[in-house]
Structure 1
Amino acid sequence: MSYIKWFEDHAAKHKKVVQKLLAEGLDKEAIISYFDFENMVKNEPDFCPLYKEENEDGGIGKKCHDMEHLNCYLCACPNFRFKDEGVEEREGKTVYSFCAIDSKEGRQGVYGDKIHQDCSHCTVPHHVSYVRKHFDTEWKKIMKACRL
């Protein structure tokens, strides 16, 4: 799946959940709280494929990042940059994605002749404080700088 396909598909899923919550009269804090991992696994099982996977305790719902209070509101990070055609060439390899803030927890993964950002150890967008700071009911608005 291309970055743009994932981006557009996820934006549509996110919008559907947020519109439902707004129709129920939820405010910013209640919406953010609704996106807590444990609640999303239970109430929105189709939001993320990991929600249906077995976790280390044998239960359903595998976290994308090893952190106690994982919030799924952003899912992706506003600091992630991508271009399906490639961003640049580096030493004979094509860079397809990178971190705009060069997070110390992230790294560039080399996969043959392709370079992609590996955010698996970075938890920046999954902290409630970060979500509050960047909150908007329009996920694409928060993520607008991601597409190059």
Structure 2
Amino acid sequence: MAVRVQEADFDLGTEVARLTSGNTSIGALVTFTGLVRDLGGADAISALELEHYPAMTAAALERIEAEACARWALQESLIIHRYGRLEPGAQIMMVATAAPHRGDAFAAAEFLMDFLKSRAPFWKKEHGADGARWVDARESDEAALNRWT
């Protein structure tokens, strides 16, 4: 079980290999990698900037990972979330969950993603042609999180 908050990019294949290395009781591995997207048009962005308070962010992500491990039979899990200035197409985060069976791996990954999207303590600023603007939480993200309570 691991949580990493980092500025540097990561290699998905390397992370998956490290997570599963030597553990032959894993029957399911689910990964999700989030990318910085540019919707173009009036919403076009040149960069996404993420800010955070390191101790607060790490503690929050470790708590939610522990909750996922308590709810589902996970053998391994990994959360990587980047911060700093990221251009469209850049990897912003990944979640990996490994379990004996796919149901636990899928459910835990969805749970972690819903938390990261709506509750992880990151402040996001989009940079575009009209300057910079802070990104507000979306109602749809909050609704997705509510299904777990």
TM-score bucket (shorter structure): under 0.3
TM norm structure 1: 0.25
Structure with greater contact order relative to length (CA < 8 Å, sep ≥ 6): 2
Please identify which structure carries the higher strand content: 2
TM norm structure 2: 0.25
